Amino acid sequence: MGTRRYGDGMARYLDVHPHDPQPRLISQAVEVLRGGGVIAYPTDSCYALGTTMGSHDGAERIRRLRHLDDRHHFTLVCADFAQLGQLVHLDNAAFRAIKSATPGPYTFILQATPEVPRRLAHAKKRSVGVRIPDHPVAAAIVRELGEPILSSSLLMPGHEWPMTEGWQIREELDHDLDAVVDAGDCGTTPTTVVDWTSGSPEVVREGAGDPDRFQ
């Protein structure tokens, strides 16, 4: 598998059970990620594009697909709070508030630790977006991968809403992706984004998560 060049073929299609994902199919998705590939996968807010933190090529392919510039904040999708805590600095207030809201459809922007590659953090602020999705398939992929997924919502240029059907994602992006993990419709509303870089929470985008707990 290590010799395969990703990004130049047809996407592998993985039809995964949304609540009880088949380990064999999760392993196939993780194999693609470990090979430097790009996958589409479901979360608790909408489908997302994902690659590994170490894949320069994967990150560039996601940028090209979505027409994003270098200022775009990728999100690091984590399996659990312990993993999230290795990536960002948390004071006591942030620790308690974020722990009580996760897993869930929130993205938190916080100061990055040295664990985060410099190229993935905001150039001036050294901040990064992190989240723990409440979706069995996303959780299974990140757990098996053993590290966060570098991720971005699957919202294509010119589209008002993210794509929600696996077959549609495969049809439109077959040659741009290496695998489509289809677990059925998971909604079109992106996460609620909370910026904690100033020391207190600021809701910068209202989405699937209830913003009131951070107002």
Q: Report the alpha-carbon distance of residue 181 to residue 19 in Å, rounded.
A: 13
Is residue 48's pLDDT more than 70?
yes
Structural domain for 178, as ranges: 12-214
Q: Is the Cβ–Cβ distance between 108 and 95 less than 8 Å?
A: no
> Is 165 part of any domain?
yes
> Is 19 part of any domain?
yes
Q: Report the alpha-carbon distance of residue 44 to residue 188 in Å, rounded.
A: 10
Q: Residues 42-71: what's their mean pLDDT?
A: 93
- φ/ψ region of 201 (left if φ > 0, alpha if ψ in -120 to 50, else beta) reads beta
Instruction: Render pLDDT for 150-196 as a digit per residue (tens, 0 to 9).
Output: 999 999 999 888 888 888 899 999 999 999 999 999 889 999 999 99
CATH number at residue 194: 3.90.870.10
> Is 112 part of any domain?
yes
> Is 2 part of any domain?
no
> Is 98 part of any domain?
yes
Which H or E run includes 66? helix 56-66
Is residue 124's pLDDT more than 90?
no
Is residue 4's pLDDT more than 70?
no
> Is 90 part of any domain?
yes
Is residue 3's pLDDT more than 70?
no
Is residue 86's pLDDT more than 70?
yes
Q: Among residues of the chain, what percentage have pLDDT more than 90? A: 80
> Is 4 part of any domain?
no
Number of domains comprising the chain:
1
Which H or E run includes 107? strand 106-111
> Is 50 part of any domain?
yes
